[in-house]
Amino acid sequence: MITNKTKTDNNTYEVEFTASADLLKAEKKRVYLKEGRKYNVPGFRKGKAPMNTIEKMYGPVFTQDAVETVYQKAVDEAVAEFGEEVVDANSAEVVSLEGDVVFKAKFIVKPEVRIEGYKGLSVEKAEAVVTDEDVEHELGHIQQRNSRSINVDDRAAQMGDSVVFDYEGFCDGVPFEGGKAEKYALKLGSNQFIPGFEEGMVGHEIGEEFDVNVTFPEEYHAEELAGKPAVFKVKIHEIKMTELPEINDDFAKDVSEFDTLDEYKEDLRKELLKKAEDKAKDDADNKLIDQLIDLVEADIPEVMYDNKVTENINDFSYNLQMQGMNIETYLNYTGMDMEALRGQFRDKAIHQVKLRLALEKIAELENIQVSDEDVDKAYDDLAKNYGVELDRVREIVPVAGLKKDVAVEKAVDVVRDNATYVPVKADDAE
């Protein structure tokens, strides 16, 4: 329960709030039952000493843990009671443990936002165009995806071939670290190696052992090798060429539901046009959002940006884990520390926070209502998108937060529906 609040700065309050003595007592007992057996007290069997006796000997070991739990419950209740939307609660301290527990913390609230002119914005929208060259280019990608690899043993390696080979590099006649591998696979012309290496393999056959002379780039990451000449001793084990299918009616039948190449091309043109239209719309909407953000007037607390950066990094870390990497490994690999990583996410966080504040204010100004049908659809969409049972989604996602998200989406529609999209040729679009 809040007992006092004092505004100390824009969007900042010092708040005192309480939790009942009975709650602290119950939490202390819970901690004692869980942790009490760890403490030895003379005259008592281990784990049998009374709670007060243990704390007289070891200090308030149960009280400390209990207070942390009680604080979290009390601050959650205080935030709900506060009357304004609290975006952060920090600098917590215990004022008193006599009777009811009294806490003090700094509450930072969502700022008051002013936004005008969000209706009638004007943005350029590129004309969606698909040329014959675009269709042929897409056909080429599909042809590559349907190619097959064929072993070659009657000729030397050529650019475009895939080769399997051993190599060892020497600088000034001495092998260098990281310069040796066996049965390494490489597509010649992919520019994976330093300049001159892949070209040096052209013209050599399976089983042949030869030298490739190269010079490391001046900007090479290993300073001890930068700008120096080197010799790689190489032996080729395999050469494979890529065989591309002929693009004709049979090809169309194999890769699509169409009987002729002309029909397939027409369908590809429609798909490419849909993609071009979607991209033009997204690009125009992004320009619209940039204009909208520029209209925001608010004294935004830094903690809102910091919290959004943390949220984005947590999402990034989760995606890394899905790829088999953790954030610590990523930082070591890139040579960054956490502060530098947070810096990389800051501009995105500022953009996201300002956009959310703008759209929430528009939803308020437009008196946007969210119906039960809107909520049901939002839950259904989440369940489908994440492959989770609907009931489980309803348990995880609070309805209040979901309603805010739906209102924000409707606010986007208000801005978009009242905007003017000026058509321009794709080459002229900014």
Q: How confident is the model at residue 56 (pLDDT cuts 50, 70, 90)?
A: confident
One-letter amino acid for residue 110 of the chain: K
Kindly state whether residues 276 and 203 are assigned to the same domain.
no
Residue 379 lies in a domain: yes
User: Which CATH number goes with the domain that contains 228?
Assistant: 3.10.50.40
What DSSP character marks residue 428?
G
CA 346 – CA 124 distance, rounded (Å): 28
Q: Which of 145, 154, 152, 137 is nearest to 245 (CA)?
A: 145
Residue 290 confidence (pLDDT): 95
* Percent composition of the chain: helix, strand, coil (DSSP 3-state, to 5): 50, 25, 30
User: Which CATH number goes with the domain that contains 34?
Assistant: 3.30.70.1050
Kindly state whether residues 304 and 395 are assigned to the same domain.
yes
Dihedral of CA atoms 6, 7, 8, 11 in degrees, nearest 10, equals 140
Residue 429 confidence (pLDDT): 58
pLDDT at 248 exceeding the cut of 60: yes
Ranges of beta strands (E only) in 216-362 are 229-243
Residue 142 lies in a domain: no
| Interior angle at CA 4, CA 3 and CA 6, nearest 5 | 165
Tally the domains of the chain: 3
Residue 59 confidence (pLDDT): 86
Residue 125 lies in a domain: no
Domain boundary pick from 195, 213, 243? 243
Domain boundary pick from 188, 214, 243? 243
CA 325 – CA 43 distance, rounded (Å): 52
User: Which CATH number goes with the domain that contains 296?
Assistant: 1.10.3120.10
Kindly state whether residues 278 and 377 are assigned to the same domain.
yes
pLDDT at 246 exceeding the cut of 70: yes
| Interior angle at CA 188, CA 218 and CA 196, nearest 5 | 30
pLDDT at 48 exceeding the cut of 70: yes
Q: Which residues of 154-165 are buried (b: 16+ CB within 10 A; e: fewer)?
A: eeebeeebbbeb
Residue with more model confidence, 180 or 223: 180
Residue 128 lies in a domain: no
Q: Which of 109, 100, 108, 105 is nearest to 75 (CA)?
A: 105
Least confident among 62-66, 198-202, 285-289: 62-66
Kindly state whether residues 380 and 271 are assigned to the same domain.
yes
pLDDT at 157 exceeding the cut of 90: yes
Ranges of beta strands (E only) in 142-279 are 148-151, 162-171, 174-187, 209-215, 229-243
Domain boundary pick from 188, 213, 243? 243
Residue 40 confidence (pLDDT): 85
Query: Could you tell me the sign of the dihedral formed by the alpha carbons of 347, 300, 294, 416, in that order?
Result: positive
- Stretch 120-133: mean pLDDT: 94
Residue 397 lies in a domain: yes
Kindly state whether residues 59 and 103 are assigned to the same domain.
yes
CA 267 – CA 258 distance, rounded (Å): 9
Residue 81 confidence (pLDDT): 94
Residue 101 lies in a domain: yes
pLDDT at 222 exceeding the cut of 90: no
pLDDT at 426 exceeding the cut of 90: no
Q: Which of 369, 354, 351, 350 is nearest to 411 (CA)?
A: 369
Residue 83 lies in a domain: yes
Beta strand pairing call for 2-9 and 12-19: antiparallel
Q: How confident is the model at residue 60 (pLDDT cuts 50, 70, 90)?
A: confident
pLDDT at 341 exceeding the cut of 70: yes
pLDDT at 207 exceeding the cut of 60: yes
CA 129 – CA 263 distance, rounded (Å): 19
Residue 46 confidence (pLDDT): 79
Kindly state whether residues 182 and 43 are assigned to the same domain.
no
Q: Using one digit for the tens of pLDDT, what is the confidence trace for 294-326?
A: 999 999 999 999 999 999 999 999 999 998 889
CA 363 – CA 17 distance, rounded (Å): 32
Kindly state whether residues 273 and 406 are assigned to the same domain.
yes
CA 422 – CA 126 distance, rounded (Å): 8
CA 137 – CA 174 distance, rounded (Å): 47
Kindly state whether residues 69 and 155 are assigned to the same domain.
no
- Stretch 357-373: mean pLDDT: 96
Kindly state whether residues 213 and 272 are assigned to the same domain.
no
Residue 430 confidence (pLDDT): 56
pLDDT at 256 exceeding the cut of 90: yes
Place of tokens 């010649």: 188
Place of tokens 């004709």: 248
Q: Using one digit for the tens of pLDDT, what is the confidence trace for 165-206?
A: 999 999 999 999 889 999 999 999 999 899 999 999 999 999
424-to-169, 284, 331, 389, 427 alpha-carbon distances in Å = 54, 11, 43, 45, 8
Kindly state whether residues 333 and 422 are assigned to the same domain.
yes
- Stretch 6-32: mean pLDDT: 94
Kindly state whether residues 276 and 422 are assigned to the same domain.
yes
Full residue range of the structural domain in which residue 330 is found: 261-428
Residue 121 lies in a domain: no
Q: Using one digit for the tens of pLDDT, what is the confidence trace for 403-423?
A: 999 999 999 999 999 999 999
pLDDT at 428 exceeding the cut of 80: no
- Stretch 369-392: mean pLDDT: 93
Kindly state whether residues 288 and 399 are assigned to the same domain.
yes
